[in-house]
């Protein structure tokens, strides 16, 4: 995917140095609508003078704008906060870190990518189980139901199953379905990518999707129970070393 100059411009205006900025959201997941906004996520580095006072400001920086008709949403965390999230069962930040849609990168970004595998544990399954439950509830409460939350349901469950069995993060539903081979996924993706962000599923067989949801959730639960991934991350010393070097400018 060629990175639009407007994304580079948005990143260039960030008030702090960035370790990386990548594209997340529907573009990463493989089902953007023509009117989908661009979700940029990344890590910034606060200067020492921002950290030495009684209050630490700007641990999270959020910027939303429209550039020549393109809606952009940029959210970044300070390195310390982001590194801490990497050590929790937070698949979302690992997806951002490992996104192949890179707008801005540094050598430290490459270091973080190398450390990602040592942050993965079997308990990341809980992140995907919980996210799928919330999206399923959203899908069921809408009338008519929308394609987006249903695609999110399948995306997060399949990401979780893939992670438990392989130890690798894969957030793109098209890639995930190459293994899962769910025949209805391509049709759902086509509805979303040729429609709008709020595209509805008139006449959707909700009971069929309910059965698939329960089946796949059970598969993810079993994958969690049988996973040989570690119980806890081992990357903390290396992340601590990287953070100290970043703060000292080494």
- For CATH 3.30.460.10, the residue range(s) in the chain are 5-120+233-248
Q: Give pLDDT tens digits for 95-115.
A: 999 999 999 999 999 999 999
Token code pair at residue 151: 């695609």
Distances (CA, A) of 222 to 7, 102, 116, 228: 40, 34, 24, 12
Distance CA 192, CA 196 (A): 6
What are 218-226's contacts with CB under 8 Å, separation 24+?
Answer: 219/157, 219/161, 220/125, 220/128, 220/129, 220/132, 220/157, 220/160, 220/161, 220/164, 221/125, 221/129, 223/125, 223/160, 223/161, 223/164, 223/165, 224/122, 224/125, 224/126, 224/129, 224/160, 224/164, 226/164
User: Is residue 41 classed as helix, strand or coil in its secondary structure?
Assistant: strand
User: Is residue 177 classed as helix, strand or coil in its secondary structure?
Assistant: helix
pTM for the predicted model, two decimal places: 0.94
Contact 179, 223 (CB under 8 A): no
In this prediction, residue 115 carries a pLDDT of 98
Which of the following CATH numbers is that of domain 5-120+233-248: 3.30.420.40, 3.40.50.720, 3.40.1210.10, 3.30.460.10?
3.30.460.10
For residue 168, give the nearest of 239, 95, 110 by alpha carbon: 95
In this prediction, residue 196 carries a pLDDT of 86
In this prediction, residue 57 carries a pLDDT of 87
Q: In DSSP terms, which residues pair with 64 in a beta bridge?
A: 73
Q: Give pLDDT tens digits for 146-160.
A: 999 999 999 999 999
Q: Is the pLDDT of residue 205 over 90?
A: no
In this prediction, residue 202 carries a pLDDT of 76
């Amino acid at each position: 995917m060629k990175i639009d100059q407007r994304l580079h411009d948005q990143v260039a205006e960030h008030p702090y140095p960035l370790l990386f900025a990548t594209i997340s959201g529907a573009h990463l997941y493989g089902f953007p609508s023509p009117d989908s906004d661009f979700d940029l996520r990344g890590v910034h580095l606060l200067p020492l003078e921002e950290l030495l006072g009684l209050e630490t400001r700007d641990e999270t920086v959020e910027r939303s704008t429209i550039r020549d008709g393109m809606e952009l949403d940029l959210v970044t965390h300070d390195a310390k906060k982001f590194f801490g999230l990497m050590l929790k069962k937070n698949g979302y930040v690992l997806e951002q870190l490992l996104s192949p849609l890179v707008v801005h990168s540094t050598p430290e970004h490459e270091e973080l990518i190398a450390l990602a595998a040592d942050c993965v544990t079997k308990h990341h399954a809980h992140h995907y189980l919980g996210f799928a439950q919330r999206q399923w509830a959203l899908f069921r409460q809408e009338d008519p139901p929308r394609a987006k939350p249903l695609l999110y349901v399948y995306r997060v469950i399949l990401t979780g199953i893939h992670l438990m069995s392989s130890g690798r993060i894969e957030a793109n539903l098209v890639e995930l379905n190459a293994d899962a081979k769910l025949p209805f996924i391509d049709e759902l993706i086509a509805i979303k990518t040729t429609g709008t962000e709020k595209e509805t599923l008139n006449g959707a067989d909700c009971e069929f999707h309910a059965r698939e949801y329960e089946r796949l959730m059970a598969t993810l639960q079993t994958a969690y129970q049988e996973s040989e991934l570690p119980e806890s991350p081992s990357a903390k010393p290396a992340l601590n070393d990287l953070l100290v070097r970043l703060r000292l400018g080494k």
